Amino acid sequence: MENRIKELLAEIEAFNTNNISALEKFRIKFLGKKGIMNDMFEHLKSLPNEHKKDFGQYVNTLKNSINSKIESIKENLNSQLDLSVNQVNIDLSLPVNFNNLGSRHPISIMRKRIIEIFERIGFTVSDGPEIEDDWHNFSALNFPEEHPARDMQDTFFIEQKPDIALRTHTSSVQVRVMESTKPPIRTISPGRVFRNEAISARAHCIFHQIEGLYIDKDVSFADLKQTLLYFAREMFGEDTKIRLRPSFFPFTEPSAEMDISCNLCKGKGCNICKYTGWVEILGCGMVDPNVLENCGIDSKVYTGFAFGMGIERMTMLKYQIKDLRLFFENDLNFLKQFESVI
């Protein structure tokens, strides 16, 4: 038995590791419930009394050497850990690195706001295809064959299919709604539209619109005016004024363009309103009876109004953004400014 203990002492002496689980294995081998030390104590118990003292001393030496080995390896491991912290130069006094929050795109923020305002007075949201046929984008909307808006200047036609184009406005969605729904209809259609225009600070070949349509019995121009006044005040503030100027659209009669009092200079005159005190925000009018008939709605029974606005333009006015191209450039410095807006 003495030899066995000498062997074990040599094994303990030789043991070294820098791995915590290897150390744990070593501990269990000697000190675990079914470990070597346990056997040793069992053996000690079974010895006659006169041998107990000597053997007891051997066992004690063994136990002490195991314990001190474990302690010294542990210390070593800990100091290695400290060292690695120092090596990577962690400065524990630095402030926490916050994760960057994403932000909604300003166009999405504005679209959501406009939708919310109209939803409060009972408008639903309708969607339609971006690739449209001539009927839904032009013909049903009372565009004469030779109307300049059909010209290649404005419209992206799909090659070899003269009848198919990228929609130039979301009025096409309204045609689809009128064709498939019985009045009363109260809906807005947000979406991307496409026009063959040179890209500049004020125009782009892709932009976003929201158009509205209300059809029922006895809908009048006064309803249109009141709806738009409500919208302007909700969007730009309680004291916003509106004015309607006569205009022309093939699909509405009478037609108008709406201005709001400049929310920047409060009507006094600035470069945003070109010193007029007013800024144009949308086109509108009473739906032309021809359009209602084209879509299968009896124009003797029903009347309606429609309006349409560019979301980019509304966003530029709301946030005083001077260049429309910023919306399409994905410049994080620009987009980050909208982090706090929901």
Interface with ligand PHE by CB under 6 A: which range of 48-56, 90-98, 229-237, 281-289? 281-289
State how far the Cα of 251 lies from the Cα of 290, in Å rounded to an integer: 8
Using alpha carbons only, give the angle 311, 312, 315 rounded to the nearest 5 degrees: 85
Tell which one of 107, 165, 306, 311 touches ligand PHE (CB under 6 A): 306
Tell which one of 30, 231, 307, 327 touches ligand PHE (CB under 6 A): 307
Residue 325 contacts residue 223 (beta carbons within 8 Å) = no
Tell which one of 279, 284, 292, 324 touches ligand PHE (CB under 6 A): 284
Judged by beta carbon, residue 73 or residue 219, the one nearer ligand PHE is 219
Contact map string, positions 236 to 265, toward ligand PHE, x by CB under 6 A? -------------x--x-------------
Environment class of residue 188 by beta-carbon count within 10 Å: exposed (0-12), middle (13-18) or buried (19+)? buried
Q: How far is the CB of 159 from ligand PHE (least distance, A)?
A: 24
Beta bridge partners of 131: 166
Beta bridge partners of 210: 190, 309
Judged by beta carbon, residue 8 or residue 284, the one nearer ligand PHE is 284
Residues near ligand PHE (CB under 6 A), total:
11
State how far the Cα of 263 lies from the Cα of 317, in Å rounded to an integer: 8
Q: How do beta strands 242-249 and 252-261 pair?
A: antiparallel
**Tokens (6 digits) for 169:** 């406005």
Tell which one of 308, 313, 315, 327 touches ligand PHE (CB under 6 A): 308
Judged by beta carbon, residue 109 or residue 309, the one nearer ligand PHE is 309
Longest CA–CA separation in the chain, Å:
125
State how far the Cα of 22 lies from the Cα of 207, in Å rounded to an integer: 66
Interface with ligand PHE in residues 176-235 (CB under 6 A):
211
Beta bridge partners of 307: 212, 284
**169 is a site residue for ligand PHE (CB under 6 A):** yes
Residue 282 contacts residue 242 (beta carbons within 8 Å) = no
Interface with ligand PHE by CB under 6 A: which range of 123-131, 221-229, 259-267, 283-291? 283-291
Q: How far is the CB of 126 from ligand PHE (least distance, A)?
A: 14
**Tokens (6 digits) for 114:** 């406009």
Interface with ligand PHE in residues 100-119 (CB under 6 A):
none
> Considering only CA atoms, which of 208, 205, 203, 174 is closest in space to residue 192?
208
Q: How far is the CB of 200 from ligand PHE (least distance, A)?
A: 18
State how far the Cα of 187 lies from the Cα of 174, in Å rounded to an integer: 8
Judged by beta carbon, residue 284 or residue 292, the one nearer ligand PHE is 284
Tell which one of 283, 292, 295, 297 touches ligand PHE (CB under 6 A): 283
Residue 256 contacts residue 229 (beta carbons within 8 Å) = no
Judged by beta carbon, residue 70 or residue 314, the one nearer ligand PHE is 314
Place of tokens 């689980």: 21
Q: How is 144-172 classified by DSSP, letter by letter?
A: -TT-GGGSTTT--EETTEEEEEE-SSTHH
Interface with ligand PHE by CB under 6 A: which range of 16-24, 45-53, 82-90, 301-309? 301-309
Tell which one of 171, 187, 240, 315 touches ligand PHE (CB under 6 A): 171
Judged by beta carbon, residue 103 or residue 124, the one nearer ligand PHE is 124
Judged by beta carbon, residue 171 or residue 303, the one nearer ligand PHE is 171
Q: How far is the CB of 243 from ligand PHE (least distance, A)?
A: 16
DSSP-based three-state secondary structure for 38 = helix
Binding residues (CB under 6 A) for ligand PHE: these are 169, 171, 211, 249, 252, 283-285, 306-308
